[in-house]
Amino acid sequence: MEAFTYTVSHDLRSPLTVILGYSEILQKSLRDRLDKQELSSLSAIYDSGIRMVELVEDLLTLAKAGQIEGPAEPLDTAEVANDVVCGLADVITQAGVSVAVGDLPTLRVPKTLLIQVFHNLIGNAIRYGCKPGDIIEVEGERKGARVRFYVRDYGPGVPAEERGRIFEAFCRGTTGKGKKGTGIGLATVQKITRLFDGRAWVEETPGGGSTFCVEMVDVPVSAPIK
């Protein structure tokens, strides 16, 4: 795993940085000397490079998910979710949607991993599950040692036949076709939940839409993260 992480972070990311840098320079310096088609080709190179960087970062997150130590104290998960919403403010504004974070139970998990869970689920709801004017709801509950979070939208929903496999790496559901994404986000969410003896799944929202559910076991301070 260490060798894989090094290869991804160095051998792949470094040349991508060069490609992005030079393509951006060419777009700016040759803007007045190239025709529309040539500028479009340069833009396509840059956009493809950005998508590759996103894929590399997602693969790194997936690879490192089990290598992060947990906190000594439980997290204020509502605060974490609200921080993620603030970080997505521009995307939320552009989409014309709103995100409501309810009262969420505390949970002792690494903050960086919980950020990934909320970022992927809320980001997916914005990208695939909403139209202007819609609201995304983030809720949670505790059942003994088990904590559940729900990210609910009222969009087109996930077809029943796809719900069992959209958490597989590189799987893009019907609603994801033609939209940006790497197909790694939900696989990362599933891997994180399994580190805490949990799981992730999706249900139909009553009235239409998708409710993505995450369950994790609250880890005692004395217990190591697997």
Say if residues 54 and 182 touch (Cβ distance below 8 Å): yes
In percent, how much of the chain has pLDDT > 90?
Answer: 38
* pLDDT grade for 177, boundaries at 50, 70 and 90: low
Where is 114: in which H helix or E strand? helix 111-128
| Cβ neighbours for 163, distance < 8 A, ≥ 6 positions apart | 201, 202, 203
CATH code of domain 77-217: 3.30.565.10
**Residue 130 has what DSSP assignment?**
-
Say if residues 51 and 20 touch (Cβ distance below 8 Å): no
Predicted pLDDT of residue 85:
94
Select, from the ranges 46-50, 167-171, 183-187, 211-215, the one with the highest average predicted confidence (pLDDT): 211-215
| Cβ neighbours for 108, distance < 8 A, ≥ 6 positions apart | 70, 71, 73, 74, 75, 218, 219, 220, 221
Q: How many CB atoms lie within 10 A of CB 178?
A: 6
88-97 residue pLDDT tens = 988 899 999 9
pLDDT at position 2 over 60: no
Q: How many CB atoms lie within 10 A of CB 226?
A: 9
Rounded CA separation 185/172 (Å): 10
Identify the bridge partners of residue 210 per DSSP, sorted by sequence position: 204
Helix axes 111-128, 185-195, angle to 10 degrees: 140
Q: Cα 136 to the chain's mean position, in Å?
A: 15
pLDDT at position 56 over 70: yes
